[in-house]
Amino acid sequence: MTFEPKIVGFLCNWCSYTGADLAGTSRIKYRPNVRVIRVMCSARIDPTFVIKALAEGADGVLICGCHPGDCHYTEGNYKTMRRYPLLKRLLADYGIDDERVRLEWVSASEGKRFADIVDDMTERLCELGPSLVKSALATDAVER
Amino acid sequence: MEEPRIGVYVCNCGTNIAKVVDCDAVAEFAAKLPGVVVARSYKYMCSNPGQEMIVQDIEEQSLERVVVAACSPRMHEQTFRRALETAGLNPYLFEMANIREQCSWVHDDGAIATEKAQALVHAAVNRVARHEPLERMSVDMCPNTLVIGGGIAGMTAALELADAGKRVYLVEKQDHLGGNIARVDLTAPYLDSARDILTYLVTRVLEHDNIEVMTESRVERLDGFVGNFKATLGSLANAADGNAAVDVGSVIVCTGYKEFDAARITHYGYGKLPNVITSFELERMLRQGRIETKEGRPPQFVAIVHCVGSRSEEYHSYCSRVCCMTALKYAHEVKSALPKSYVSDVYVDMHAFGKGCEDFYRQSSEVKTLFLMYGRGEHPVIRKADPGDECGMLIEVNELLSGETVEIPADLVILMVGMEPREDVDDVAHLVSISTDKDGWFIESHPKLDPVATTTDGIFIAGACQAPKDIPDTVAQARAAAARILARIARGKLVVDAVYAEVDEDRCSGCRVCNELCPYVAIEYDETKRRSHIISALCKACGACVAACPSGAIKARHFTDEQIFAEIEGVLE
Amino acid sequence: MALRINPKLIDELEVYGAEDVSKCYHCGNCSAVCVHSSDPYVFPRRSMRNLQMGLEDKLKGGLEPWLCYYCGECSEQCPREAEPGETMMSLRRWLTSRYDWTGISRLFYRSWRWEVGAILLVGFLTALGFLLFGFSQGSITHYNGSNAFLPSSKIHVFDWTLAMLLLAVLLSNAARMWWYTVGRDRSVKVPMKSYITKAYLLPAHFITQMRYAKCARKTPWLTHLVLMLSYLTMLVLIMFFLSKMASGPKIDWYVHIFGYLATVGLVVGSVLFLRNRLRKSSAQYTHSHESDWLFLVLLLVVTLTGISQSILHHSGVDVAANIMYVVHLSVVVPMLALEVPFGKWSHLAYRPLAMYFADVRAEGLTRREPASVPSEGLRAA
């Protein structure tokens, strides 16, 4: 069986989730690997959400918010923008490949863009292969 | 923790979901999940029988939580929450799994889509088990309304509200009311005078006791929330006048449009060829009652070019909707002013969608308008005619109905410039915190179910700031927005969403990180307790503070860490 | 090279009867419904388009109007009441005026006053001429014999002289027609062989009107055929058997039987067409140009005066018969001299010629390089 990566998507309610809905109403087909969790704003995405998803077996995490300057809450996405590099540094320290966690801006009118991002990320994760975070944690627990 | 009794309902949405997702299999899968006591698949969950099924199950099976796997929660979350309330259950003990917009409509493979739907239902079941009953807040609805923009939309909305006895603040940037309609001569398709419409509206607005008109003014700030906004208004004419603050319950944005800059399309020679003019320049001539070339002669050949800036890859992909009928109006007006002239109408497609418009199109061909069709993505090229020619200019175009490349004689060329968002559209969007689409038009809450509301509660939009539209549609939207507001004012109180953040004072260390983060200044620091505190009415539940709190002391109601963790586990199991 | 649009042409054509062409929005229903419309002669939509845009050269070089018999189907199907059938009819009138180098046709089509005036003048001059001629060499009381007022042998000479003159004018106009529609177009090379092998088409179309027979409605074709054959029969009788016709009171049945049949055909045909036009019974009869009325009225008057003359002559009332003969001639001569080369009558030559030219031209087109043949979708309809 070919490897089908699991992606957890955290989408802000106002832009990106609406954009993903628009992909649906426009019947734009994309890879079925993403599972979306809706949050009110990308600024709500606690780094622990990302780590939790990876620990639970996600091969990738996609964070989507409104384009900079377009936030429904004025500047929530700027907070995400600043929080994200810190998270990436942390993940790098854990040895988690840089491409497994992505931050993208998707507006409410960008259904196509959302579909393209999902397809592209799925493609990249297929090349990277399965994430070892979950199994490593399990081994770690057994050894302890 | 004792497991709550959960009911799961999988909607087939006719065949919208069922033709890709095996809904029965999803229901069977859900039935085996912890806590699930009922799991059903049904044709239309949002229908009355569908909702009654939920109500009945809640009563008969003593359900404590409900999950509906159907369309997007943006579509029907409120519908099902009301069903829960009918059955006496707190509406927040409900969760939706989006298996239509984000599953059946975007995937083709039935087996994979079914598996994804099951994962989404699993997440929803996990999450709903951790939901808490929440009480909604009731706030007062201030009966005053702020209308931004004094064009036909703004004036119509203001009058509708004022006639109902409510106070309206009408803010206009220019020194007079009227907006774009003040630049127009007659209106299509019945050829009524725009001036008559305008004079009637302006007179009524200015004389109305309930309307306070502020020309040469702008909204500096908008604070607060639905039913309780505070708007700061400033004068553009005289900065020394200072700012005025008014209390309003709702805002209608009617900022309209501006016309496309024809000089951007070099083929048309606008700005270089003196007798190539825009539609608004012709309107000025018509209003002055004299159609003539720059040389002061009445033109013998008049050409009208459609879709200038509209329906093109390079400029705007959308249709500006009013230009086709306006062009026909020009054909009529030119013909009646200059009966010996010849009018060529150079178009791409004739959009005669509105009431009376198809008849108007027909009448225009009866007055011998020569319709010449060119292809989308092509540009007619306008050049100066040769000295021996009977006309001043020639328009070369690949004419589709004849299949020939032709030269159209013209002494006066009218460019039907399309509509585009105003330059300050982003400032306005920020001011009232609403969004714009890819073209810069304000986004409505739902194109069909809620076309005049926005994603920000209490902010409404009407007229061409939402998308290009004609006068009848603009007026309809303006009155619709006013009606929405009047309904709320009539109720007196507003129920606002129970979703907001709160601080657990026992865990708060008083570090004040969150204080600076809040865009709504909803977090107060209590000096005596040395703890932060959230004013729930001001909180809009973005959750920025929740994610930032180093002590984990802030809880986002309905979006708690626990709920989201449960959802993560659900999608990955 | 771009073609120059002439928005004024449509105004000119209005005088010829094309009043509704600007209403057309090019759905193509008319071309779809027409049985005669097929590649490379697709109409009426394209002709309507060329007219709307005022592409004068294209119109002048078009054979399509002559390939239409105006059954009226297209006008009935038109969703915009743009009257494609009447437009084709008007284009035939306009083309007639373009083929005619004398300019008389143009004058007549643009002003019925001129046309009627000219007919009256020629009629008056004819009557005057024949009266003077009759009195100078014969007796009004004699119809036949050596002292005849208008002896058939002399009239015969007059007939042939007139016929040759008309033929000359008609042929010169036909040559212009060939030049506009076939000769001028450099992109079409028609081999001489085609002209010869296709030559049979000319008499075939002329006599059978087989194209007309293809129209959905058969009655107009039959009426038209009867009228045309009667006219032709009468022409042959007069041109070749005039002496036999006039030599009474003994009747040469083998000649006269044709004469009677043709007379019946002419009366029935012209009365039927007149009735249809008066009643506006279907699309092709609703718009009658002055030239259409003149054509039928003249035909009927010629026939009726001819009948009267025959009855009077056979009744032996020679004075009355001679006077009626002069009357008859003063209608026949203007009809032939003015209408055949310059008026509606000319279609008896142009229509079969057009069909012949269309076929030879189509052969020339197939020999053309395929790359230069228009293939764009919208061009087809």
Q: What is the CATH number for B83?
A: 3.40.50
Nearest in space to B406 (alpha carbons), one of C346, C243, C45, C3: C3
**Number of domains composing chain A:** 1
CB B455 within 8 A of CB B442: no
What integer is the mean pLDDT of B320-339? 96
Indicate whether B450 and B510 sit together in one domain: no
A24:B548 CB<8 A: no
**Helix/strand number for chain B, H first, E second:** 14, 30
C5:B370 CB<8 A: yes
Give chain A positions within 8 Å (CB) of B547: 43-47, 79, 83
Is residue A77 included in any domain, yes or no? yes
| Phi and psi, residue C238, nearest 5° | -70, -40
pTM for the whole structure: 0.82
B106:A30 CB<8 A: yes
Instruction: Tell me B446's DSSP state.
Output: B
The strand pairing partners of B410, in sequence order, are B393
**Residue range(s) defining the domain that contains residue A23:** 7-143
Please provide the DSSP assignment of B297-341 as one string: ---SEEEEEEEESSS-SSS--S--SSHHHHHHHHHHHHHHH-TT-
Cβ burial, residue B160 (10 Å; 0-12/13-18/19+)? buried
Give chain B positions within 8 Å (CB) of C1: 405
Extract the runs of DSSP E, i.e. beta strands, from C78-197. Answer: none
Cβ burial, residue C153 (10 Å; 0-12/13-18/19+)? exposed
Indicate whether B164 and B98 sit together in one domain: no
Distance between CA atoms of residues A113 and A11, nearest Å: 14
CA-angle at B345, arms to B343 and B350, nearest 5°:
145
**Residue range(s) defining the domain that contains residue B372:** 260-418
Cα B513 to chain centroid distance, Å, stands at 35
C53:B405 CB<8 A: no
CB B138 within 8 A of CB B108: no
**Chain A adjacent subunits, 3+ CB pairs under 8 A:** B
Flag residues of chain C having pLDDT under 70: 245-251, 368-381
Averaged pLDDT, groups of 10, chain A, 144 residues long: 91 94 96 96 95 95 91 89 94 91 93 96 96 87 64
Checking if the pLDDT of B260 tops 70, the result is yes
Nearest chain B residue to A59 by CA distance is B572
Checking if the pLDDT of B503 tops 90, the result is yes
| Residues 539 through 558 of chain B touching chain A, CB cutoff 8 Å | 540-544, 546-548, 556
Indicate whether B287 and B410 sit together in one domain: yes
Which residues from C are below 8 Å from B when comparing CB atoms? 1-8, 10, 22-26, 46, 49-50, 52-53, 55, 80, 374, 376, 378-379
Buried b (16+ CB within 10 A) or exposed e, C350-364: bbbbbbbbbbbbbbb
Distance between CA atoms of residues A97 and A101, nearest Å: 8
Q: For residue range B419-440, what is the model confidence (pLDDT) as tens digits?
A: 999 999 999 998 998 888 889 9
Q: For residue range B193-249, what is the model confidence (pLDDT) as tens digits?
A: 999 999 999 999 999 999 999 999 999 999 888 899 999 999 998 877 778 999 999
CB C352 within 8 A of CB C206: yes
Report the largest interatomic distance among the alpha carbons of chain A, rounded to a whole angstrom: 51
| Phi and psi, residue A62, nearest 5° | -115, 125
CB B65 within 8 A of CB B9: no
Cβ burial, residue B79 (10 Å; 0-12/13-18/19+)? middle
Q: For residue range B11-64, what is the model confidence (pLDDT) as tens digits?
A: 999 999 999 999 999 999 999 999 999 999 999 999 999 999 999 999 999 999
Indicate whether B527 and B476 sit together in one domain: no
**Number of domains composing chain B:** 4
B543:A43 CB<8 A: yes
Distance between CA atoms of residues B321 and B397, nearest Å: 23
Instruction: Tell me B41's DSSP state.
Output: E
Is residue A1 included in any domain, yes or no? no
Give chain C positions within 8 Å (CB) of B403: 374, 376, 378-379
Average pLDDT, chain B: 94
Q: What is the CATH number for A123?
A: 3.40.50
Testing the interface with B: which of A21, A50, A87 to mutate, by most B Cβ within 10 A?
A: A21
**What is the 3-class SS of B6-30, one letter each residue?**
EEEEEECCCCCCCCCCCHHHHHHHH
A37:B571 CB<8 A: yes
B362:C24 CB<8 A: no
Q: What is the CATH number for B381?
A: 3.50.50.60
Instruction: Tell me B180's DSSP state.
Output: G
Which of B134, B167, B183 terminates a domain? The answer is B134
B433:A72 CB<8 A: yes
Indicate whether B240 and B270 sit together in one domain: no
Which of B90, B113, B134 terminates a domain? The answer is B134
Distance between CA atoms of residues C270 and C227, nearest Å: 7
Give chain B positions within 8 Å (CB) of A28: 106
Q: What is the CATH number for B545?
A: 3.30.70.20
* pLDDT at res. C373: 46
Run of H or E residues at B217 = strand B217-225
Quote ipTM for the complex. Answer: 0.96
Count CA atoms within 13 Å of residue B301 on its CB side: 22
Indicate whether B251 and B328 sit together in one domain: no
Is omega for the bond preceding B550 within 30 degrees of 0, making it cis?
Answer: no
Given the candidates 1.20.120.430, 2.60.40.10, 1.20.58.100, 1.10.1060.10, the CATH classification of the domain at C9-99 is 1.10.1060.10
Cβ burial, residue C46 (10 Å; 0-12/13-18/19+)? buried
